[in-house]
Amino acid sequence: MTALIVNNEPIEYKLDPATPLLWALRDASNLTGTKYGCDSRDCGACTVIIDGQAVAACAVSIGDLSGARVTTIEGLGSGGLHPVQQAWLAEQVTMCGYCEPGFIMAIAALLDSNPNPDDAAIAAIPNLCRCGAYARIRRAIDRAAMAVAASAPPAAPAVLAPQAEPAKSDRFSLGSSDEAHESPQ
């Protein structure tokens, strides 16, 4: 028997300890939001959060997880939608929907550990979308990150040393020069 905490509920699985978590969740707990996609850790459709980390549920057996805290898509929002789920809806990411739960779980785990992820951290999300909704997914990540940052307690003010004004050529601009964006007089 393997005891886990799944979506904040204690569960004892009377299954072979070698049973992949994916099948314990889907078949024994009827938590079918965790999708079977490839069984080889390649697609991420079965991603869940285990002790704060995004993990492919097809890649870990329940015997290796005794006492672990597992969160599935069904348990992600506590009393409402998680900011990632809200952003997913707002950006109309859904296409076929099959990759959705895994992507949402991977993004939620990322934002929990890093509320302001850079491009490299976002690119490291290994999940695949066979429909190619990557631009929408990226917008949802950005929107969710802003929501998470807005709900975070304010950080202590940093003491910054005065810095010189950057050279004009070092500043970001949308056009060829800053003057192109000034209003005529």
Q: What is the pLDDT of residues 11-64, one digit of tens each?
A: 999 999 999 999 999 999 999 999 999 878 899 999 999 999 999 999 999 999
175, part of any domain: no
Q: Which two tokens stand for residue 154?
A: 């304010």
- 31 in any annotated domain: yes
169 inside domain: no
CB-CB contact of 7 with 34 (8 Å): no
pLDDT in tens, 126-160: 999 999 999 999 999 999 999 998 887 766 665 55
pLDDT score of 185 more than 50: no
- Beta strands 47-50; 53-56: pairing state: antiparallel
Residue of 104, 156, 161 lying closest to 127 (CA atoms): 104
pLDDT of residue 155: 62
Query: What's the structural domain count of the chain?
Result: 1
Q: Give the domain CATH number at 122.
A: 3.10.20.30
CB-count exposure of residue 92 (10 Å: 0-12, 13-18, 19+): exposed
State the residue range of the domain holding 83: 2-151
What is the model's pTM?
0.80
Return the C-alpha torsion angle 18, 24, 25, 26, nearest 10.
Answer: 120
